[in-house]
Structure 1
């Protein structure tokens, strides 16, 4: 296995572990995936969340809202070298709300910027976006990959 393939495999495992941590509502496991100085452009205000504590506050809100969490990451494409990597995929967050209401979720676009610290890959930046109808300003939440 070449170094590039090794790094890509490690990053895919890291992002799979993120999916597992979200489904388990395991905030400590989620923390281990992100760099301490992560910058996140998430779908919730404000425009940016800087640092791991700000990033985790978004997931705390999700975990408090949902009794069960389902998260899916699909069509992940990666570009990797020895020290940095970026990727993009489609993600969908759903589950069952605390009141028992099932939520199938909405597909979003996700971009990840990763860096290797020592021999460990961490998410240093992520961005989640929803397509917008520019004429109305409304989010296009009915699209599927």
Structure 2
């Protein structure tokens, strides 16, 4: 019989799968269901933080405008699960066919998710996506692979 921690980890992994499915289907409603209403997101695009689910969904809307067809890959997902909070990190990559025609392999980002257990399950309360930067040039390094 699985422990509560194992059950919770499986549910969180399902939420990550739902993010991938929502992105690939360009389904904002599906994505909305994985975020807490007060989510704080430190995304790769300005500003420094996006507060609330509407702001997070605006980021996804921008992605969906940029891509005609989009896919999202998650690698090396690691989770740490507690009673009502959990965190995880992985590498993620958006790729696909751009709205203006060409295909792109995208870039790998470092992703961190912080989950909070609520009445309706595990929701993302905070996320962060980042790329390393070159200190000498001050520019992001976007050609690294896990």
Q: Same fold (TM over 0.5)?
A: yes
Q: What secondary structure does 2:15 align onto?
A: helix
Question: Partners in 2 of 1:33 and 1:109 — Cα distance?
Answer: 19
Gaps of 5+ in 1: none
Q: What stretches of structure 1 move > 2 A for 4+ residues in a row?
A: none
Q: TM-score by structure 2 length?
A: 0.97
Give the CA deviation at 1:109: 0.1
Q: What secondary structure does 1:7 align onto?
A: helix
| Counterpart in the other structure of 1:143 | 144
| Counterpart in the other structure of 2:42 | 41
**What number of residue pairs does the alignment pair up?**
145
The equivalences for 1:101-112 within 5 A come to 101-112=102-113
| Counterpart in the other structure of 2:32 | 31
Residue 67 of structure 1 pairs with residue 68 of structure 2: yes
Q: What secondary structure does 1:99 align onto?
A: coil
| Counterpart in the other structure of 1:97 | 98
Question: Partners in 2 of 1:5 and 1:51 — Cα distance?
Answer: 29
Q: What secondary structure does 2:114 align onto?
A: strand
| Counterpart in the other structure of 1:131 | 132
Q: What secondary structure does 2:133 align onto?
A: coil
Q: What secondary structure does 1:57 align onto?
A: helix
| Counterpart in the other structure of 2:14 | 13
